[in-house]
Every structure is written in structure tokens, then in C-alpha cells.
């Protein structure tokens, strides 16, 4: 299909369904993913996720996380650091081991069971962040904890994937494969928050002194894409670099309302939609998959594992069961990274077509249920609070 | 190359060179095209114009022409209608016949000579409009005339291309091949300015009442892309539909400064750059081409033919030699359409590699010279005017 026609079709269907979902009271993101399922191979088979749409989707998740970083209060995010680390770790460990266990019980071979555990341990940063933005809860302690834990989660997920591929390749060099991504991630974070922050702020401030009127806008986009590319190059998800770039430039960008609004429109008015539609396009729903005996147990483990991990990891810090529960809910969404890992594992012969299809449906189920659970949690929390004396968060 | 890396590289080099060119006092567009030549096959061979970058470039020319249409005063444009039609026609006729004549004198065969005439008759709407925007002259009588004539030019160019391909294919159905694009173009314009305008305005106003905050921004983009796609589907350039959509929605969009600024940033802060870089990427400069005896005569005919056609076509209405001369200068740029026609003709065996390469260099020469000539013309005109009593335009 002509790419211009694909762009029109995606924007019309996704924004239309998003609007309907929003009127019903749920995050519009759900409508955008449904648009992808509708236009993609599962139903109408009109739009294929070709390299051009993949580039638009990548730009979308970069724009989404950059804006999230820029909207986030860096102090609140820093305050949530310790709770994020423990929550991220518990949010990976519980689903990992329960996935391996369930896989074993259901009769999968060891490699498939480990794969299942890893897939279950990767939260979708994009879905988690968009849910919080749609519900206007990004800058709460719960919101910061979810985002921070999702970042930690991604780093641990990459380490696990390195481990899985060394097992699959039968390599003895497993420890080396583990050490490299950890070292690179640590170096990147250290660099980013020291030299990187100064460099980026300097470059951005310089762009304001240029003759070219739109230079600060372009500079912000360049910085977001470059940081995203840097994290992608060291094996992390695009989204992490873009988020860190947003955190760094947030103060500068929020000072200029016109610039900030322009970048928000660039993200939410255009590119972000392609990211959520691409999740729907990656999915292939078939009747026999829906009837698979694996499906219901898998969805149950996916929801229970992350909720338990997030709850247990954050409760010691948050000291509030409802808040800790919402953190758990916020981490339940799996997204494009889980789908891409499933696809490459299918291509590498690690998993069967049957397991791949069930995983696909599990991802979609979590993507729909996570925002609903988070929304329910926040409204329960606020209902309870209005009965008790006011408290600061 | 990873598309995200290509995006970063293109934005950094193009905006950097654009800034330098602007500081020297010329339209930044020249720096962006040089960036394409630098990154492309002619010099560094780092970036290839793949389908993804082609989609970004198409989105760029759509965004450029949509903003131009929205910035344009529809009354000024309507006032320039008659002069535009005559100027467009003369601006096609003179280069067409002088191209055929020069080709014949230089010993090309008839088909090559006709091809040369057609290539010389297609003005680049994108370059013409961007020059006027960069010089802040879009909303002058001269500016409206240039844009209107470039639109007419494109319609006539498509008719001529239909003619060329029927000659090349040896078809007798030449007249039918001519009638269809004319009829479709006429129908499109008629539809656009009657039912189309109402439909588009209604759809845009509805988008303002949606829950989704960024909906008017997305709606404007959808309308621009859809109108562009419609003109592309009937055989005209993307740019024309986008320009007409901009004209239609201009009043609505200019009412909302935040929305307008956001769309201008979307265009000039991101997508438009890919369009101008893509022109540079299409070019292949080789030493033997620069030494070709065809080169200098071809550039001379390219400049003289359009300048003469634009001058002769607009003088009866404008009654001012300097203004008519600037109109002629404004039409001298050939761009991506000429390059694409040259490429397809090369692939179809209509023209030789030698002629193709020379045409490529001619296009680049006009793209660099046209903005310089237009800028010179306006500054001459203003210098003369400051000596004579004030006059209304």
C-alpha cells in the first residue's frame, strides 16, 4: 500500500476508535491498538507493518517517552529511585520464575519454559507511561515508581535475553554475555547523568541562539532520537534513552510553553499513534489460538505475577497496600518488546507456532486489562481517601 | 543504515548547513539540499533514499505545501488567478519548445529532445514555495503569481508526460491519454472548491469538539495527507492537493495561533527538511558529467526559458518589468519531479545515461540559482521603490 494512504488510514481509524474509547471512559490507547488489530493481518489485512511503518512506530515510542521524561518531575523521579529498583527487580523475578514454573507444569520443554518466563518479565514501558499520561497520574509517587520500575525491568530483561540466547546457542560464555549489557547500561546511565546532561543542555541552549526559527524544536527531536539510538546501540530499548533525554531537557523545555506544546502535538497528534497501532499490527489472532488450553492460565500468570512482584517490591517503601497494588497493576502490560522477542524466538526455532500465538493473545489481553486495572485502582484509592483526612503524597 | 540513525544524521547535517547558509544571507533550503548531496551517492554515500526516507520526503513536501496554502491569503491568490494561468502556460511553452530545439541542435534524437523539453517545463513547486517563505514574500502579488503558475505548470507537465509516454509506447491513443488527466484535474479542482471545501471545513470544525485534546492537529494533518493522496491518485503531484487543503483550511487554522505554530513546527522543524535532503540524495554528480559539453547550454536554456516564459506570461497583467522578471526567476527551479521523470525515462531506455547525468546537474544548478535570482530581484525592486513614491501592491 502507498505509505501516504497507510498513514491516512492509520490516523483516521486509530484516532476515531481512540476517541470512542475515551468517551466510554478508558485510555484512548486501547482504541489505537484495536485499530492496529482491525487493519492488520488478524482482520482486514489492509496494512502491513513494513520498514516504513516500523520507523514511524519507533519515532512514536521515542516521542512518547521523551515527552514523558520532559513532563516528569526529576525530583519526584529521583525520590522514587530506591522503590523503583526493588520494584523493578521483584517485578522481574516473580513473573520469571512463575512463568518457568507454569511452562514446566504445562509440559513445555525447558527452553520454552525459560522463554515464557522472560516474555512475562518484560513490562511495556510505552503502555505503562501512556496509561499514566492518559489518567494524568504520571507525576504521582505511584506513577514515578511504575516508570522507574519499568526502566529497571527493561535493563534486567535485556540481561535475561542475553542469557537465553547464550543458552540457545549452547555457549559456555554465558557469564560474559551477562556482564557486557550490565556494564554498558551502567556506563550509559553514569555518562548520561554527568557529562551527558551538561552536553545536552549546552547543545539545546545553543539551538535557541540560532537564526533558524524552529531550531530548538528540531534540536529537542535530534537529542531525543540520538539518546534513543545510543540506548538501542548498547542493547536497551529505544524508549529508555528517549526517556532520559526528556528528563534531562524537561526543565528547559517546560520553560517555553509554545515549544513544549509543539513537541506534545508532534508526539500525541502524530507519531505516538503509529507505535500503538504497530502493536496491533504485530498481533495475529486466530480462532484455534483463542481455544488453546494454554491461554487462560497464561493470562492469569501474566497478571498475577507482575501484580504480585510490583506489590511486594513497592510495599516496603510505599507502606500503602492500595498504592502498592496499583504499582503492580501498572507493570502488568506487556507490549511490542515481548511481541518482537516472541517473533525472533519463533524464527530461531526456540518456540513453537502454537506458543507464539498464545503469547500474542496474552500480550493483547494485558495491554487491554492493565489500563483498566490501573484506572480502577486509582478511583478506589481516591474514593477511600475522600473518607479519610487529607494526606500528602 | 538504521532509520533512526539516518533521521539523526539528516537533521543534524541539513539543519547545520541550513543555518550556515542562512547566516550568509541565502535561503536555508540550499544548505539542506547540499546536505543531501554530501550524505548521498555523490560524496559520502552514507544515506540511501530508501522507501522510508521517500515516505518522510513525501510527508515533507505535503507539510510544506499545506502550510504554504494555509499561510496564503486566499483572496490574493484568487486575484492572481488569471495572471497565474497565462504565466503557467507561457512558463511551460517557452522551455518546452526551446528544450526541444536545443536538443535537436545538440544532435539528440527526437524522443530525447522532447523529453528534454518536458523536463525543462516542470517547475519545482516545493523549491518555489520554500524560496518565497524563506524570503517572506509568499503573500505578495508576485508570490501568488509564482505559486499559481507553478500549480498550472504541474498540471500541464502531467499532460505532457502522458503524451511522452504514449509516443514512447508508440500508441495511437495519444488524444485519450491527454484528455483523461485534464478532465480529472478539472473535476478535482471543481470538486475541491465546492463540495470539498465544505466537507473539509465541517470535518475540521467537528474535530475541535472532540475529547481528544490534539484532535484538530491530527485532523489538519489527515486532511492535508488525504488531499495530497487524492491528487497523486489522479496523476498530479502530492504537493497540489496539500496546497489546496491548506488554502481551504487556512482561515480556520490561522484563528488558533497555538495550532498554527504547532503545524509550522511539524513542517519546518522536522518533515520539510527530508524533502530537500531527498533532492540532494537523488543527485549523482560525477566528474565527466561536469565536463559534458551539454551542461552549460542546458543550464542556460533552463534559466532563460523559464525566465522568458514567466516574464512574458505575467507582464501583461503585472505591468511592471521587474516584478514580471522576478516571476520568471521564481519559476526557474526544477526539482524532485524532474529528477524522478529523468530516472524513470532512463530506466525505460528513453534517454542515455549521459543525458540523465547532465539533467541531474542542471536541476541542482537551477535549485541553487533560483533562490539567489529571486532574492536579487526583490532587493532590486525594493531599492528602486524606495526612490519612487509608495505604491500599493
Tens-digit pLDDT profile for residues A233-251? 887 888 889 999 999 999 9
pLDDT of residue A173: 52
d(CA B130, CA B132): 5
Q: Which residue has the higher pLDDT, A198 or A385?
A: A198
ipTM: 0.89
In a domain? residue A12: no
In a domain, A281, yes or no: no
Nearest to A4 among B18, B212, B229 (CB): B229
Q: Where are the alpha helices (DSSP H) in chain A?
A: 3-24, 29-39, 51-71, 74-79, 81-105, 110-121, 125-134, 141-168, 174-191, 197-207, 215-233, 238-255, 257-266, 272-282, 287-290, 295-318, 321-330, 336-347, 353-385
Q: What gap in Å lies between CA B391 and CA B196, rounded to an integer?
A: 37
pLDDT computed for residue A176 by the predictor: 61
A59 part of a folded domain: no
Question: Which pTM value belongs to this model?
Answer: 0.90
Asked if residue B171 has pLDDT above 60, the reply is no
Quick one: pLDDT band at residue B387, thresholds 50, 70, 90?
Answer: low
CA distance A31 to A18: 4
Query: A366, A297, A359: which is closest to A328 by C-alpha?
Result: A366
Are A39 and A1 within 8 A, CB to CB?
no
Preferred mutation among B1, B16, B51, B214 to probe A, highest tally of A CBs within 10 A? B214
Q: What is the pLDDT of residues A53-66, one digit of tens each?
A: 999 999 999 999 99
Instruction: State percent of chain B over pLDDT 70.
Output: 94
| pLDDT single digits (tens) B266-278 | 999 999 999 999 9
Q: Name the residue among B232, B340, B278 with its Cα closest to residue B56.
A: B278
Distances (CA, A) of A162 to A121, B168, B388: 14, 58, 77
Whether B265 sits inside 8 A of A222 (CB atoms) is no
Report if residue A16 sits inside a domain: no
Mean pLDDT of B214-234: 94
C-alpha of B9 from chain center: 25
With CA atoms as reference, the chain B residue closest to A134 would be: B212
Confidence at residue A344, expressed as pLDDT on a 0 to 100 scale? 78
The predicted model gives B155-177 an average pLDDT of 67
Mean pLDDT (whole number) for A319-346: 90
Residue A24 lies in a domain: no
CATH number at residue B161: 1.20.1530.20
Are B23 and A268 within 8 A, CB to CB? no
Domain that holds residue B328: 73-263+290-382
In a domain, B235, yes or no: yes
What's the domain count of chain B?
1
Q: How far is B105 from chain A (nearest CA, A)?
A: 41
Q: Is residue B230 a part of any domain in this protein?
A: yes
CB A220 within 8 A of CB A204: yes
User: Which residue's entry shows cell 497523486?
Assistant: B232
Mutation target to probe the B interface, by most B beta carbons within 10 A, among A10, A62, A212 is: A212
Domain-embedded: residue A7: no
Amino acid at each position: 500500500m502507498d505509505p501516504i494512504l497507510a498513514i491516512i488510514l492509520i490516523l483516521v481509524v486509530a484516532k476515531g476508535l481512540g476517541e470512542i474509547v475515551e468517551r466510554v471512559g478508558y485510555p484512548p490507547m486501547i482504541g489505537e491498538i484495536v485499530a492496529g488489530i482491525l487493519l492488520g493481518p488478524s482482520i482486514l489485512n489492509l496494512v502491513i507493518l513494513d520498514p516504513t511503518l516500523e520507523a514511524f512506530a519507533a519515532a512514536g515510542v521515542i516521542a512518547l517517552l521523551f515527552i514523558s521524561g520532559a513532563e516528569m518531575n526529576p525530583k519526584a523521579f529521583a525520590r522514587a529511585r530506591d522503590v523503583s529498583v526493588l520494584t523493578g527487580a521483584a517485578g522481574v523475578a516473580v513473573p520469571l520464575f512463575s512463568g518457568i514454573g507454569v511452562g514446566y507444569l504445562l509440559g513445555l520443554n525447558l527452553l520454552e519454559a525459560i522463554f515464557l518466563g522472560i516474555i512475562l518479565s518484560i513490562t511495556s514501558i510505552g503502555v505503562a507511561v501512556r496509561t499514566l499520561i492518559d489518567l494524568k497520574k504520571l507525576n504521582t509517587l505511584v506513577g514515578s515508581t511504575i516508570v522507574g520500575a519499568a526502566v529497571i525491568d527493561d535493563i534486567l530483561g535485556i540481561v535475561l535475553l542475553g542469557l537465553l540466547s547464550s543458552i540457545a546457542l549452547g555457549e559456555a560464555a554465558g557469564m560474559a554475555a551477562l556482564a557486557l549489557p550490565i556494564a554498558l547500561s551502567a556506563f550509559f546511565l553514569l555518562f548520561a547523568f554527568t557529562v551527558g546532561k551538561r552536553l545536552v543542555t549546552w547543545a539545546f541552549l545553543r539551538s535557541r541562539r540560532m537564526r533558524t526559527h524552529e531550531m530548538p524544536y528540531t534540536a529537542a527531536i535530534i537529542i531525543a532520537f540520538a539518546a534513543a539510538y545510543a540506548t538501542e546501540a548498547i542493547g536497551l530499548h529505544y524508549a529508555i534513552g528517549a526517556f532520559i533525554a526528556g528528563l534531562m531537557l524537561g526543565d528547559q523545555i517546560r520553560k517555553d510553553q509554545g515549544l513544549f506544546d509543539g513537541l506534545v502535538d508532534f508526539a500525541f497528534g502524530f507519531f505516538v499513534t503509529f507505535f500503538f497501532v504497530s502493536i496491533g499490527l504485530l498481533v495475529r489472532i486466530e480462532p484455534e489460538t483463542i481455544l488453546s488450553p494454554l491461554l487462560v492460565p497464561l493470562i492469569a500468570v501474566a497478571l498475577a505475577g507482575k501484580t504480585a512482584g510490583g506489590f511486594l517490591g513497592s510495599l516496603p517503601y510505599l507502606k500503602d497496600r492500595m498504592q502498592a497494588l496499583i504499582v503492580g497493576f501498572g507493570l502488568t502490560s506487556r507490549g511490542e518488546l515481548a511481541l518482537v522477542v516472541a517473533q525472533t524466538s519463533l524464527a530461531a526455532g526456540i518456540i513453537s507456532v502454537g506458543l507464539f500465538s498464545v503469547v500474542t493473545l496474552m500480550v493483547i489481553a494485558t495491554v487491554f486489562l492493565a489500563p483498566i486495572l490501573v484506572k480502577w485502582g486509582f478511583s478506589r484509592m481516591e474514593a477511600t481517601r475522600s473518607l479519610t483526612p487529607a494526606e500528602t503524597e
